[in-house]
């Protein structure tokens, strides 16, 4: 049986994972939770317990992966560092993203952005909510938080997608590398302009916080980390918004309960990022030989930490493939854990759970899927909807 499962892992193809990774993850969880997958050039970790253990032991499972695709695209960000170096850069950005700042400064800004976008298409009675709402809202909100308010939302969307495609370019597609490198240069130019402005006129933004920290970051460190924020801070809230909307549109009983009690949109958000984790996989590397999930890993082993699988682990979640806002004791891993727990967690919860989702359902009466074209899914390193055609009553 072990040989059969090993052969299964070796036959996994990236296009299969992109189309629908969940059946593959289920097989790996049940039979080989730490499996060498040649197509990904790494061991995939698929069980919740193993990933939770890994996050508590960064001294064994390092974020500083050699030949990292993220480092190739973005440079050396805080996400690819451990220990004091990681903590220093994280601490510099943190003031702009604390819960109180998010509530008092950013949530009102998010609400204005959501309302302005909906004003632009509400009277039409139909729209693709991916392209006309979720994506531009994520870009505009991110621009405000980072200190890039003068950068067009479309530029941020283009840069984000290109860089994220690069960090997931395990197929080594040269066209993807070219797009990612071009996007990175665009980000650097925009950040340099922001640094010049914010050096003289500080504000509440992330770039300003990094510039004026007790231990300020260098321009290079700011550029690289803003690339990271543009990647993770745009695609993830965009995808959580579209997936959460789709989930409610296809689960009418749950939708009715949420519309009767809007405070439950926070439950919708948490279940959404469990059900379809926007960051499906991230890398780690072992610093020594170790055993995990019944597999002996050599020092220097490249790992893929599959949050999308952990969040559907049957040993943790009942009926894990089902969207259910009434789950109790949520212990999803959508935001990771340990020292690298997502710095934008509170921002994402506010942007999606407190603003985007409730505003859509409040302002678009009778919101429903249009049926004009099928809803499409894609991705495994980053997964979400690719469109969301909808209609509502005017």
Of 138, 158, 140, nearest to 148 by C-alpha is: 140
Residue 83 has pLDDT above 70, yes or no: yes
Q: What tens digit of pLDDT does each residue of 231-290 get?
A: 878 889 999 999 999 999 999 999 999 999 999 999 999 999 999 998 999 899 999 999
Mean pLDDT for 290-301 is 96
In angstroms, what CA-CA distances link 389 with 178, 272, 385? 31, 19, 11
Identify the pLDDT of residue 330: 67
Of 350, 361, 120, nearest to 240 by C-alpha is: 350
Domain ranges of the chain: 2-391
Strand pairing partners for 378?
A: 384
Mean pLDDT for 202-225 is 95
Distance of CA 46 to the CA centre of its chain: 18
- E-strand stretches of the chain: 34-37, 42-45, 61-62, 126-128, 282-286, 290-292, 295-297, 302-305, 368-369, 377-378, 384-385, 389-391
Q: What are phi and psi of 250, to 5 degrees?
A: -105, 5
Residue 292 has pLDDT above 80, yes or no: yes
**Is the separation of the CB atoms in 90 and 336 below 8 Å?**
no
Confidence class for position 85, pLDDT limits 50, 70, 90: confident
Identify the pLDDT of residue 63: 87
Lowest mean pLDDT among 19-33, 325-339, 355-369: 325-339
Identify the pLDDT of residue 5: 56
The percentage of the chain sitting over the pLDDT mark of 70, rounded to a whole number, equals 98
Of 152, 143, 104, 137, nearest to 357 by C-alpha is: 137
Identify the pLDDT of residue 1: 45
Yes or no: domain 2-391 corresponds to CATH 1.10.630.10: yes
Identify the pLDDT of residue 30: 94
Residue 56 has pLDDT above 60, yes or no: yes
Residue 164 has pLDDT above 90, yes or no: no
Confidence class for position 75, pLDDT limits 50, 70, 90: confident
Residues in the chain: 394
Residue 192 has pLDDT above 80, yes or no: yes
Q: What are phi and psi of 282, to 5 degrees?
A: -140, 160
CA gap 8, 32 in Å, rounded:
10
Residue 71 has pLDDT above 90, yes or no: no
Please state the pTM of the whole predicted model.
Answer: 0.92
Q: What's 382's DSSP letter?
A: B
Lowest mean pLDDT among 1-5, 112-116, 292-296, 313-317: 1-5
Residue 339 has pLDDT above 80, yes or no: no
Residue 195 has pLDDT above 50, yes or no: yes
Mean pLDDT for 104-126 is 98
Compute the mean pLDDT over every residue in the chain, rounded to the nearest whole number: 93
Mean pLDDT for 332-359 is 89
């Amino acid at each position: 049986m072990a040989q059969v499962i090993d052969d299964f892992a070796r036959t996994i193809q990236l296009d299969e994972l992109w189309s629908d990774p969940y059946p593959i993850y289920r097989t790996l969880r049940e039979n080989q939770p730490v499996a060498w997958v040649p197509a990904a050039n790494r061991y995939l970790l698929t069980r919740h317990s193993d990933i939770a253990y890994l996050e508590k032991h960064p001294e064994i499972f390092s974020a500083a992966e050699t030949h990292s695709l993220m480092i190739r695209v973005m440079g050396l960000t805080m996400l690819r560092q451990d220990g004091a170096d990681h903590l220093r850069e994280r601490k510099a950005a943190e003031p702009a993203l604390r819960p109180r700042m998010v509530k008092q400064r950013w949530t009102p800004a998010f609400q204005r952005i959501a309302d302005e976008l909906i004003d632009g298409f509400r009277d039409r009675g139909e729209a693709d909510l991916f392209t006309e709402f979720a994506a531009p809202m994520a870009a505009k909100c991110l621009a405000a938080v980072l200190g890039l308010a003068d950068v067009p939302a479309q530029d941020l969307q283009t840069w984000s997608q290109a860089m994220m495609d690069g960090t997931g370019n395990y197929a080594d597609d040269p066209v993807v590398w070219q797009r990612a490198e071009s996007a990175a240069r665009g980000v650097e130019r925009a950040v340099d302009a922001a640094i010049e402005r914010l050096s003289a006129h500080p504000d509440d933004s992330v770039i300003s916080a990094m510039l004026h920290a007790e231990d300020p970051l260098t321009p290079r460190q700011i550029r690289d980390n803003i690339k990271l924020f543009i990647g993770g801070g745009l695609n993830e809230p965009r995808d959580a918004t579209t997936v959460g909307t789709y989930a409610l549109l296809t689960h009418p009983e749950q939708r009715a309960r949420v519309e009767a009690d809007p405070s439950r949109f926070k439950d919708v958000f948490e279940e959404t990022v469990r059900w379809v984790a926007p960051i499906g996989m991230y890398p780690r590397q072992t610093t020594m030989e170790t055993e995990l999930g019944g597999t002996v890993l050599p020092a220097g082993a490249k790992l893929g930490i599959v949050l999308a699988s952990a969040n559907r682990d049957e040993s943790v979640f009942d009926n894990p493939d089902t969207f259910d806002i009434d789950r109790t004791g949520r212990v999803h891993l959508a935001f990771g854990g340990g020292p690298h727990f997502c710095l934008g967690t509170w921002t994402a919860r506010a942007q999606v759970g407190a603003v985007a989702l409730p505003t859509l359902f409040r302002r678009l009466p009778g919101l429903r899927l249009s049926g004009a074209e099928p809803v499409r899914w894609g991705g495994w390193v980053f997964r979400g909807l690719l469109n969301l055609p909808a209609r509502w009553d005017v």
